[in-house]
Chains A and B, each alone.
Chain A
Amino acid sequence: MIPELGQFALILALLLAIAQGVLPIVGAWRGNAALMAVARPAAIGQAIFVSAAMAILIYAFLSFDFSVVFVADNSNLALPWYYRVTAVWGAHEGSMLLWVFILNVWTVALAAFSRHLPQPFVARVLGVLGWLAVGFLAFILFTSNPFLRELPMPADGGDLNPVLQDPGMTFHPPVLYMGYVGFSVAFAFSIAALLGGELEQAWVRWARPWTNVAWAFLTGGIVAGSWWAYAELGWGGWWFWDPVENASFMPWLVGVALIHAQAVTEKRGSLPAWTVLLSLFAFSLSLLGTFLVRSGVLTSVHAFASDPRRGLYILGFLIVVIGGSLALYAVRAPKVAGGKPFAVLSRETAIMVANLLFATAAAMVLLGTLFPLIGDALNLGKISVGPPYFGFLFVLLMAPVVLLLPFGPYLRWGRGEGKSLTTVALRAGIAAVICAVAGWFFADGRLRAIAGIAGAAWVAVGTLSYVAKRWREMPRGRRFPAEMAGMLLAHFGVAVFLMGVMLSESLSIERDTRLAPGQTETIGGYTFRFDGVQESAGPNWQGDQGVVTVMRDGATVHVMHPQKRVYTRGQVQTESSIDAGVFRDLYVALGEPMDAAHVDGPWALRLYYKPFIRWIWLGGLFMTLGGFVAAGERRFRAKRAAAANQVVPA
């Protein structure tokens, strides 16, 4: 009975979402305050029912209700309770429910924190979000129902994909979705602005904190995903350019462009149409990512359960949402390239150049991701592009960004500024050269490592020298407003990230080896001694646990325990052992025994020495933090109230 209540809750949520989509928009169009006032209660009601459905699905997992197909497919009696909770988003149906749930989190937040915005505007924004919810709720109910029953009910269920049985799974998908779905707010703001025809700076200022928070969540989610792939998939890589990763990376790239373009439009009034377009693109790419991941169009190897109806539905939804919004853009986008004039060497120019680079990078990732599909369409056979394509083009496009980065804060809005640019170029340039020379010895002349060190020094010194300038020139309390502090943090994160990527990529040592107990292998100055394999077991798996003692200069650094787990349902999962450090990670994965009959004999082992790899995620965390800090800008809140009064309700 209880799963049926979940189903009813979803149906009621759908009905409320329809009300939320129709009535406030009609109200805003007719100027009917009563209809507009429906938006908030409808949004909150919808959120209550979606939360109820979510809670009921979690309850079904916790109570082992295997009559629910989704529960039976993704959990079993031996699965620990915390993985039964995360199993909710471990497969298609539940992850779609999580999508809608998070959309509701954003909608409710918006309903709560928009009291000072003009009522017609809020009504339109919530109406647009209501329509998005209608699309996804209908998708769940008609093609991907997580509450579907099967009778007679199996005595025990299948298993949650062992790859997903990892602490990272508890927060990676929700955080990533917070980012993905969060762009729906910027999207709804620009649609509302297009609908209302009040395309002026005001809406951009209202949208900025929301966009920054969504982008920060997306950054955090991608960082968590990258770290999880590194720790859990057993390959020691941190980014693979696979379609699922690209699906989250494209909105991120456009998001970077968007948060900068919003700054230009809000402060200077320039690029209004471009900012609208980027808002539409950022969310469209989120939807597109959902389509690519969920339709099975690209990942046909994993498409066992993919249902062409799902693909068709999402495609139809994409056409309505993206096609509709782009058509609206074509009709209503601001006609004149407004805004204040700006000189060549101004901040506007720099942001425009960076914007073009980021947008091109997103297009490049999209093209590469779709290559197999294009190959099919043009009958060129099975083609796909891998890391060489992405890596090469991405570095090519991002190198100018790195070069521009230190100048960004120094540049003035509108007018050209030559002198301070020379100063910062000199400072950062000297630092880069010194670090490159130092790096020559540290990295044995490896070019990529040296380029990484020099680039990181260039960005870091450029950013820090601006921090020093503010510190000197501004009175206490006015030195670092939140917006600027966030920007500087994120820019500094780029330096840290760059250092991590270039050094770990060029200086890593990866060795596949076979060792008998007692034998040693030395890489990167560390000696790994294989001490044999013990039996090991967890709540729902049994396995072999290797013991590897790592020594340096005769002293034991760490004893590592890589595992090879066989889950109760038969899937085998490699659990690597990692000794993390600020300057290097040591990474051991257990392979197979050379001879299955002699587990006491030699085993295949994979040993990695990864210098500076933590800096990749540390840099990402700086950017995440920067996004959140910038969203706290006081000016967004204070001036928002003032600006709201200026807009005449339609």
Chain B
Amino acid sequence: MTRLLPLFAFLLLAALFGFGIWYNTKHDQQEIVSPLIDRAAPDFDLPVLGDNSRRVTKASLLGKPYLLNVFGSWCIECVHEHPVLMNEARALGVTLVGYNYKDDPADASAWIAKHGNPFDVIVADRDGRGALDFGVYGAPETFLVDAHGFIRYKHVGPLTPDDLAREIRPAIDALRRENR
């Protein structure tokens, strides 16, 4: 009997690992970002990419929900995500704000020129300090902010058409129902 103990202990461990994998696929990364959800978005005041004279603030975006997409010209996954923003995200009917993160403005402008610009406006956060307040881990990340300036949804990693259909669009529809 005692010889079977190590085997039983291991099987218990294996069950725990199986649970871990299942749990991760169910809960995704959303669990970690929960502290931000349904909280007011942090205040920010950032220059528009390529035009330092114009600035975008949190206040200037109030009144309409918007999708804030954190990207950088240095970010590989952003290239994979970009077509989704270009094609599907523009059809969502909300303002798309590009959040250029820790990037050289010249590189960012060149990157946008090459891949196309899906955004209504792009803000440049060169040193990444504003992104810190947003709790950004890396790029790409996407936030849905409602008309009152509250973060309602956060997505970590590149958006896929599937994410848009299953997560983002229902979240936006829910916002519309609230406002009615």
Contact = CB atoms under 8 A, between A and B. Distances in A.
Interface of A: 72-73, 154, 157-159, 273, 277, 280-281, 284, 288, 291, 295-298, 300-301, 303-304, 306, 308, 311-312, 315, 318-319, 322-323, 326-327, 329-330, 333, 370, 373-374, 376-377, 382, 567-572, 592, 596
B69 to A, nearest CB: 16
A315 B7 contact: no
Interface string B133-167: 00001100000000000000000110000000000
Interface in B6-34: 6-7, 10-11, 13-14, 16-21, 23-25, 29, 31-32
B156 A297 contact: no
Given A288-B13, A312-B21, A315-B17, 14 more contacts: A158-B76, A284-B10, A308-B24, A318-B14, A318-B17, A323-B14, A329-B7, A330-B3, A373-B19, A382-B31, A569-B75, A570-B102, A570-B103, A572-B128
Contacts, number: 105
B72 interface: yes
B77 interface: yes
B21 A297 contact: yes
Contacts of A568: 74
Residue from A154, A280, A570, A571 having most chain B Cβ neighbours under 10 A: A570
B10 A315 contact: no
21 contacts: A154-B79, A281-B6, A300-B32, A304-B138, A308-B24, A311-B17, A311-B21, A311-B24, A323-B10, A323-B14, A326-B6, A333-B3, A370-B16, A373-B16, A373-B20, A376-B19, A377-B23, A569-B75, A570-B72, A570-B73, A570-B107
B156 A304 contact: yes
B16 A315 contact: no
B127 interface: yes
Nearest to A335: B3
A32 to B, nearest CB: 31
Residue from A297, A303, A382 having most chain B Cβ neighbours under 10 A: A297
Contacts of A567: 74
B147 to A, nearest CB: 30
Given A158-B76, A303-B29, A326-B6, A570 B20 contact: no
Contacts of A327: 7
Contacts of A373: 16-17, 19-20
Contacts of A311: 17, 20-21, 24
Nearest to B107: A570
A326 B7 contact: yes
A273 B16 CA distance: 27
Contacts of A158: 74-76
B4 interface: yes
Contacts of B21: 295, 297, 308, 311-312, 315
Given A303-B24, A304-B156, A569 B74 contact: yes
Interface of B: 3-4, 6-7, 10-11, 13-14, 16-21, 23-25, 29, 31-32, 72-77, 79, 101-104, 107, 127-128, 137-138, 156-157
Given A72-B76, A323-B10, A329-B3, A301 B137 contact: yes
A157 B21 CA distance: 31
B16 A277 contact: no
A159 B29 contact: no
A323 B14 CA distance: 9
Majority DSSP secondary structure for residues of B touching A: helix
A159 B25 CA distance: 28
Contacts of B31: 300, 382
Contact of A329 (B6, B77, B102): B6
A306 B10 CA distance: 24
Contacts of A154: 79
B105 to A, nearest CB: 12
A370 B20 CA distance: 10
B13 to A, nearest CB: 8
Contact of A159 (B10, B74, B101): B74
A159 B74 CA distance: 8
Nearest to A158: B76
Nearest to B102: A570
Contacts of B6: 277, 280-281, 326, 329-330
Given A300-B32, A326-B6, A570-B72, A291 B77 contact: no
Nearest to A568: B74
Contact of A301 (B16, B32, B73): B32
B17 A297 contact: yes
Nearest to A372: B20
Contacts of B138: 304
Contacts of B74: 158-159, 567-571
A370 to B, nearest CB: 7
The 4 A-B pairs of least Cβ separation, nearest first, read A569-B74, A570-B74, A297-B20, A158-B76
A300 B14 contact: no
Nearest to B139: A570
Given A301-B32, A323-B11, A333-B3, A572 B102 contact: yes
A277 B6 CA distance: 9
A73 B31 CA distance: 27
B160 to A, nearest CB: 13
A377 B156 contact: no
A233 B128 CA distance: 19
B19 to A, nearest CB: 5
Given A291-B17, A303-B29, A570 B24 contact: no
Contacts of B73: 570
A596 B46 CA distance: 14
A322 B24 contact: no
Nearest to A69: B76
